[in-house]
Amino acid sequence: MSAYNIEDFRKVTTHRLSEMKQRGEKISMLTAYDYTMANILDLSGIDVILVGDSASNVMAGNITTLPMTLEHMIYHGASVMKGVKRALVIVDMPFGSYQGNSTLALASAIRIMKETGADCLKLEGGEEIIESVRRILSAGIPVMGHLGLTPQSINKFGTYNVRAREEEEAQKLIKDAHLLEEAGCFGLVLEKIPAVLGAQVTKELKIPVIGIGAGSEVDGQVLVAHDMLGLTGKEFSPRFLRRYADLSSAMTKAFEQYILDVKTGNFPDEREQY
């Protein structure tokens, strides 16, 4: 597999994402929650790094994303920012920091921006949170929307199944997508929806649409880095997930060899001591 030749080393901005959509260049996006992963991703040439609240599952071992707090997201966001020079960094606003209260939403947004140095924020939902989106945008903070499967609403949905298969839900999603664009969002994530719906929304909107399980006709793709690296358990195998490595096996092998070397006195050897 040959690497994509990055020719433009300037900082990625929301404006540049819009230009990429206009010229039909696909946008690459992956998650990171810490300095080391963010630095490797940035040096690999990724366009966008998402400090996702999926840190709740991946980093903290929670079943849902709901336990994440502002402090957690600020910690992860600030760690990621230290490792990034080029990529656009988006931080997820955590559950409870913006829903149903636009004053709280603005205060939460300002804290994340001030304390992480991130470029922009992502919020889940459409019409229900539009007041919060508008308020945050009014402070000059770029916002990305997130529709379809929105994990912070898992208790309402009840399952992680594909969303918007039914006409009524698909129509609401299209309406919400336009609402977010009209409010001034710079981009939109569509999660786990039929590919035809992903294609339709992408065609109708001027802002870039990034898919995760939303088909190939969107403007870019996002995956959870730990999933595509094969670090997370194989029991999580949605159709949209392509595993590019089996790091879990590689790590297990390295750990087992280390344990053996320590137990047998093979580590450290003469060159590894003072």
Show the tokens assigned to 12.
Answer: 């990625």
| Burial annotation 199-208 (CB, 10 A radius, 16+ → b, else e) | bbbbeebebb
Query: For residue 136, is it left (φ>0), alpha (ψ between -120 and 50) or beta?
Result: alpha
Whether 191 is catalytic is: yes
Measured from the CB atom, the residue of 130 and 210 that comes closer to ligand KIV is 210
> How far is 115 from 117, CA to CA, in rounded Å?
6
As measured in angstroms, the least distance from the Cβ of 210 to ligand KIV is 8
Measured from the CB atom, the residue of 38 and 224 that comes closer to ligand KIV is 224
As measured in angstroms, the least distance from the Cβ of 256 to ligand KIV is 30
Measured from the CB atom, the residue of 157 and 267 that comes closer to ligand KIV is 157
Backbone angles phi, psi at 258, to 5 degrees: -60, -45
Helices assigned H by DSSP within the chain? 14-23, 35-44, 55-58, 70-81, 102-116, 130-138, 154-157, 167-183, 195-204, 225-228, 247-264
Residue in 198, 250, 247 with CA at minimum distance from that of residue 227: 247
Among candidate residues 191, 204, 217, 256, the one labeled active-site is 191
As measured in angstroms, the least distance from the Cβ of 83 to ligand KIV is 17
Show the tokens assigned to 35.
Answer: 């300095």
Question: Which positions touch ligand KIV (CB under 6 A)?
Answer: 31, 50, 52-54, 92, 189, 191, 212, 222, 224
Measured from the CB atom, the residue of 91 and 113 that comes closer to ligand KIV is 91
As measured in angstroms, the least distance from the Cβ of 274 to ligand KIV is 43
Measured from the CB atom, the residue of 7 and 64 that comes closer to ligand KIV is 64
Residue in 142, 239, 152 with CA at minimum distance from that of residue 188: 142
- Residues catalogued as catalytic: 191
